[in-house]
Amino acid sequence: MRSYNLYHYCIPVDSQLILRNRFLKKREGLLVQVKCGENEGWGEIAPLPEFSQETLEQAQRQTIDWLKKWDQARSCDEKLPLKDDELYPSVAFGLSCALAEMKHELGSQGNYQVAPLCYGDPDELYEPLSQMIGEKVAKIKVGMYEANRDGLIADMLLEAIPDLHLRLDANRSWTPTKAAMFAKYIKPAYRSRIQFLEEPCKTRDESRQFAEEFGIAIAWDESVREPDFVVQAEPHVAAIVIKPTLVGSLEKCVKLIEQAHACGLKAVISSSIESSFGLTQLARIAQQYTPNTVPGLDTLDLMAYQIVRTWQGSTLPVIDLDSTFIVKVAI
Ligand SMILES: O=C(O)CCC(=O)c1ccccc1C(=O)O
Ligand SMILES: [Mg+2]
């Protein structure tokens, strides 16, 4: 009556996606299925190269190991705890999602609103923004080209679209001087329409000083995954970004969300370039735990296909478990 399965997927992604100057050509991961009688749940385990510490092979081995122990424990009517300090983040996240689905703890409704993501060409934003209902919010990756150019583009968009709010992400790429070059282009009257700028500088202290000096709100992303990080209210800090595949179990993510909300910060559930399968689960998590915040999940279009579960409104082709891009893992 109890069973589990593991599937490996590998799908092409568009190489315009730049992850720290590295082009990603394919995205690989695992889908895990757990079943107990009538109940079943699924999760996605997809370490992101350059961001995750674990490789897919390591994640796969640990997943199989955990599933075997889980099955054994359950057959003795015992529980096997899912411990974040013993599992890789991607494994803890995927397994915890599968268990939560199986126990009907994850709602079916998702928040499919997205902050359209722009990787450099601001013209890409006009069309999706004109279609948006409700809060108009877009996200621009900055810090890859000239800081002046980034500032010019952000200022221009804020001027052209008066009800637009922007999220910006610098991935710690600026020195204080570069960050200041960016900020000087943003007219002071527009600065409050920057919801947040993720990690402008190399260190948290430099980012804090930048926020203080220019009155631009910031958010923590990379910092959230560092061991010494504590969620706390700070001047000019508006949000924490949570990428569950890089953080760990659903329980750990929910704790972070609760801590953020308790000190008045937004918690933004965000993509680690999961497949449509994982992204829809993240949309459901966002709906359930951060219902008033647009999640950062606009990464599906980087992929050539959706797998198994589809993103609301997406016209990308869908492939199933029997496609050649998905292979059942022998356990
Ligand atoms: O957070 C988002 O809005 C989209 C996802 C994203 O930007 C991202 C995705 C994978 C790895 C790193 C990043 C990043 O925040 O730079
Ligand atoms: Mg970021």
Q: How many CA atoms lie within 13 A of 156 on its CB side?
A: 12
Start-end of H helices in 239-295: 244-247, 250-262, 276-289
Looking at residues 21-40, what average pLDDT do you find?
A: 91
- Evaluate: CB of 173 within 6 angstroms of ligand 1: no
Q: Is 258 among the annotated ligand-binding positions?
A: no
Dist CA 53 CA 57 (whole Å): 12
- 118 bridge partner residues: 140
Check if the beta carbon of residue 307 is closer than 8 Å to that of residue 11: yes
- Evaluate: CB of 140 within 6 angstroms of ligand 1: no
- Beta strand 26-36 with 22-23: parallel, antiparallel or unpaired? unpaired
**C-alpha distances in Å from residue 54, one per residue of 19, 47, 58, 89, 273:** 17, 7, 6, 8, 16
Q: In this structure, which ligand is nearest to the CA of 167?
A: 1
Dist CA 304 CA 80 (whole Å): 37
Mean pLDDT of the chain: 94
- Beta strand 39-45 with 26-36: parallel, antiparallel or unpaired? antiparallel
**Model confidence, pTM:** 0.95
Looking at residues 89-118, what average pLDDT do you find?
A: 95
Q: Is 198 among the annotated ligand-binding positions?
A: yes
The type of residue at 282 is L
Of 299, 300, 301, 303, the residue with max ligand 1 atoms within 8 A of its CB, to mutate for a pocket test, comes to 299
- Residues annotated as catalytic are 141, 243
Q: Which CATH class is domain 117-301?
A: alpha beta
In tens, the pLDDT along 178-223 reads: 999 999 999 999 999 999 999 999 999 999 999 999 999 999 999 9
In tens, the pLDDT along 209-221 reads: 999 999 999 999 9
pLDDT band at 120 (very low <50, low <70, confident <90, very high): low
Q: Where are the domains of the chain?
A: 2-105+318-329, 117-301
Looking at residues 255-268, what average pLDDT do you find?
A: 98
In tens, the pLDDT along 280-329 reads: 999 999 999 999 999 999 999 999 999 999 999 999 999 999 999 999 99
Check if the beta carbon of residue 294 is closer than 8 Å to that of residue 115: yes
Question: What values do phi and psi take at 42, rounded to 5?
Answer: -130, 155
So what's the architecture of 2-105+318-329 in CATH? 2-Layer Sandwich (3.30)
Q: Is 205 among the annotated ligand-binding positions?
A: no
DSSP secondary structure string for all residues of 102-128: HTT-S-S--------EESS-THHHHHH
- Beta strand 237-242 with 266-269: parallel, antiparallel or unpaired? parallel
